[in-house]
Chain A
């Protein structure tokens, strides 16, 4: 097991073919053992090509691979971030919360190819077929300060910018943090704050990001097909693999995250905000509030034309003005 991780790491970290002999020497194992490991890796879905006389070469085929992700991260992030990659899991947010029982100095990234119990706000079912991106960040929060409305809007902007830069398509943000493409939801974000009753503060934060990246719409349950979209077409056209895209999102997120509490990213958020200057209905518990959305304030709240600042609830209706 340990050797197969090492072989995968060596192959992922180079664009040149590696000979079986070289790998064997490096790990002090036999060439036959290397061959066996390569076969096992191939069987689990890693695309490793054997080139005559040259050796083995790795092709990034979108199979989740932390070494390819790390290769595409900034040097600092590549050092700091810890990774946990799953083929299938109940939910990456649940896993992150389990891991939060321990203290972590650096952020952890939990990624899965699919989820069996993905969930959204208020326990709502979140469909999670294979091939998409289900990523949770477990962030230490040493300052114990948290500006919820800025964290969630910053995350939405980071994912939007990654899509614009990498896939050459412009999504829109539906307040607070849904991303839409042609009015179909392509990204959902669910953030959970972890309170520690001993320190009486929020000492860790989990940000779950679900991106419909490679899914074909007919893989989704029929009841959500009308509302869901996918980046598949754009991802294939731009030839950006899942691993490369995950790295882009992480690079972008941590760049904004450094200063998110200042709200300096809000102008870019507002620019992409799909609700501004539209008549909206916001459901707040059992209550409905309707009005013209005029602005997003410095805390990320939506402002209505009557001056009301709203920090809670969900936009259920949008009417063009």
Chain B
């Protein structure tokens, strides 16, 4: 691989939801990882979740938004990699259930990484339409956790 190819790969990797990438050939090895939690990542995530206010969308000029009448599906996505907990303790009820109304700031689940518990909060008002992960499942960065039906 030459430098150009590597640069392109890094940029593609940056755009992709992949968190880690490893390439090994006989005499070459490349390991890319986005495994850290930062504002940048959180922001990227939030932006990609709201196409209307997305910086990315702003940068793509003159592209018509298709089917503007059909609202985009809204998700709460994982801002970091880790184990997801859908309930505060094994014996307690889930943070949220399908059909439940959530408000901005409501805790919908907890993600644990390296013994750090992060309460994941909904950033919008709406109804939980789908729970997309299982309790204690390992989730990837950017993975949709809940689908929210905005009201």
Contact = CB atoms under 8 A, between A and B. Distances in A.
A190 B82 contact: no
A155 to B, nearest CB: 9
A229 interface: no
B88 A193 contact: no
A285 B114 contact: no
Contacts, number: 110
A201 B42 contact: yes
B35 interface: yes
A301 B114 contact: yes
Given A123-B89, A312-B83, A313-B83, A197 B115 contact: no
Contact of A190 (B115, B120, B122, B136): B115
Nearest to A143: B39
Interface string B84-128: 010111111000000000001100000011111111111100000
Q: Is the interface of B mostly helix, strand, loop or mixed?
A: loop
Given A122-B85, A149-B114, A312-B82, A202 B119 contact: no
Interface string A189-209: 111111101011110000000
B137 interface: yes
Interface string A265-302: 00000000000000000001111000000000001110
A191 B81 CA distance: 16
B37 interface: yes
Interface in A238-290: 284-287
A210 to B, nearest CB: 13
A265 B83 CA distance: 26
B36 interface: yes
Q: Interface size for chain A: under 10, 10 to 19, 20 to 34, or 35 or more residues?
A: 35 or more
Contact of B112 (A119, A121, A199, A301): A121
A202 B80 CA distance: 11
Report the interface size class on chain B: 35 or more
A279 to B, nearest CB: 22
A152 B37 CA distance: 14
A201 B46 CA distance: 10
Contacts of A153: 114
Given A176-B114, A202-B39, A311-B82, 20 more contacts: A122-B90, A123-B90, A124-B89, A144-B39, A146-B116, A152-B116, A153-B114, A192-B119, A193-B37, A193-B117, A195-B118, A195-B119, A200-B39, A200-B123, A201-B43, A286-B136, A287-B138, A311-B35, A311-B113, A313-B83
Interface of A: 119, 121-124, 144-149, 151-153, 176-177, 189-195, 197, 199-202, 284-287, 299-301, 311-313
